């Protein structure tokens, strides 16, 4: 089938492109490269040993979306495109609402016009807000604490409304926990433009001496070692979760929500120790104050995804650490 991947040149989109192309689908990547590089296409071509189609376009420009739907007879859409920094969304909410919300509305409008009604949407565990209980299942209250999370939830609500108005839609909202790691080749991975916000890209930059040290926010949380606990999930497991969701949607109509996490919580120091052990390198760090808005622990109950999709994560922390480092060595940018 012909699959359109918005934001397909980015971290998660490029990994899903590999998984879906390897499953025999034609992937068409749409991206404005605001947080990715055009080099990714060469790397994807190398991994897949064939040419992948890339269209440089912006979801905020309805004509760009129109042209891609006119050029190809798209069967389904995987929607990754958007800004992803919680911190930036607090500082500049209008930019986030415009890009993430309006961009999504433009996309869905065009899908509707072309009668394309299968959508896999990148949601996020931020829709839950502070955990009321652990592990977090899909019935957990959704009270996001920042514009980024609120927009994800508003998009999910909009998708529910779209399905209620027309029961022919097949939609999966995938609530990712903390994706890390890279494809085995080390060619593609998490390489944000500008300042890295997520833990693993910062660890790799410190290990390669691009940054002096890692600041660990808080060592007085009520956790195993005092540092925050998160559900880190290997990006290739996440990509597999997209494939299984897509296969499920081929057989089922509805608007579904699934957690994509491992179900295991690891502390910042667990991840750091795994990285140092696997890659035999030094990562200087110090402790600083807790960061406002951070919770002590957050991890998924992934059982619904297993029950409905037959999906569960297979890779552990060490594979995440090893692959992230391999990617950095192949792709040092700055
Ligand atoms: N990485 C995470 O930790 C994480 C966690 C939960 C959810 N998500 C969500 O998953 C999705 C993908 O995340 P990612 O980590 O791959 O991010 P990413 O920034 O690497 O990829 C997003 C891509 O979208 C593109 N893009 C942004 N705005 C666009 C627009 N208006 N038109 C066209 N392209 C545009 C960017 O250039 C980038 O290549 C995002 O929606 C993000 O919110 C990510």
CB 317 within 8 A of CB 274: yes
Express each pLDDT in 156-196 by its tens digit. Answer: 999 999 999 999 999 999 999 999 999 999 999 997 776 67
SS3 at position 249: helix
Q: 205-214, 243-252, 260-269: which has the minimum mean pLDDT? A: 205-214
**Mind listing the pLDDT tens digit for each residue in 66-82?**
999 999 999 999 999 99
Tokens 């994509």 -> residue: 260
The preferred substitution site among 64, 82, 172 for testing ligand 1, maximizing ligand atoms within 8 Å of CB, is 82
Indicate if 148 belongs to the active site. yes
Q: What whole-number distance in Å separates Cα of residue 204 and Cα of residue 114?
A: 43
275-323 pLDDT per residue, tens: 999 999 999 999 999 988 788 999 999 999 999 999 999 999 999 999 9
Does the CB atom of residue 257 touch ligand 1 within 6 A?
Answer: no
Q: Is 225 helix (H, G, I), strand (E, B) or coil?
A: coil
Give strand pairing partners of 178.
232
Kind of pairing between the strands at 76-79 and 2-6? parallel
Model's pTM, two decimal places? 0.97
Domains and CATH numbers, the chain: 2-180+232-261+302-314 (3.40.50.720)
Tokens of 43: 């790397």
pLDDT of 334 > 60? The answer is: no
> Of 86, 75, 145, 148, whose CA–CA distance to 117 is shortest?
75
Ligand 1 probe mutation, 11, 37, 83, most atoms within 8 A of CB: 11
Name the 3-class secondary structure at 50.
coil
């Amino acid at each position: 089938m012909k699959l359109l991947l918005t934001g397909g040149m980015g971290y998660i989109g490029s990994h899903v492109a590999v998984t879906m192309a390897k499953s025999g689908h034609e992937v068409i990547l749409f991206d404005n490269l605001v947080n990715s590089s055009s080099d990714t296409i060469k790397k994807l071509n190398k991994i897949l040993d064939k040419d992948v189609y890339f269209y440089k376009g912006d979801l905020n420009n309805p004509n760009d979306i129109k042209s891609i739907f006119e050029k190809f007879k798209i069967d389904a859409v995987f929607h990754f495109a958007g800004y992803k920094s919680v911190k930036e969304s607090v500082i500049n909410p209008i930019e986030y609402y415009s890009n993430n919300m309006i961009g999504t509305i433009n996309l869905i409008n065009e899908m509707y016009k072309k009668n394309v009604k299968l959508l896999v949407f990148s949601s996020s565990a931020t829709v839950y807000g502070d955990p009321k209980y652990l592990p977090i299942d899909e019935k957990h209250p959704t009270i996001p604490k920042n514009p980024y999370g609120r927009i994800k939830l508003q998009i999910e609500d909009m998708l529910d409304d779209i399905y209620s108005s027309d029961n022919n839609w097949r939609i999966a909202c995938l609530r990712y926990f903390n994706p890390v790691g890279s494809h085995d080749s080390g060619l593609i991975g998490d390489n944000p433009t500008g300042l890295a916000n997520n833990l693993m890209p910062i660890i790799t930059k410190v290990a390669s001496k691009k940054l002096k040290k890692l600041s660990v926010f808080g060592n007085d949380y009520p956790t195993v070692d005092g540092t925050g606990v998160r559900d880190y999930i290997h990006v290739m497991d996440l990509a597999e979760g997209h494939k299984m969701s897509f296969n499920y949607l081929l057989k089922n109509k509805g608007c579904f929500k699934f957690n994509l996490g491992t179900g295991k919580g690891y502390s910042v120091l667990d991840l750091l120790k795994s990285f140092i052990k696997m890659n035999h390198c030094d990562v200087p760090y110090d402790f600083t104050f807790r960061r406002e808005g951070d919770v002590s622990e957050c991890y998924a109950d992934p059982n619904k995804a297993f029950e409905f999709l037959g999906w569960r994560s297979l890779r552990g922390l060490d594979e995440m650490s090893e692959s992230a480092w391999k990617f950095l060595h192949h792709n040092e940018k700055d």
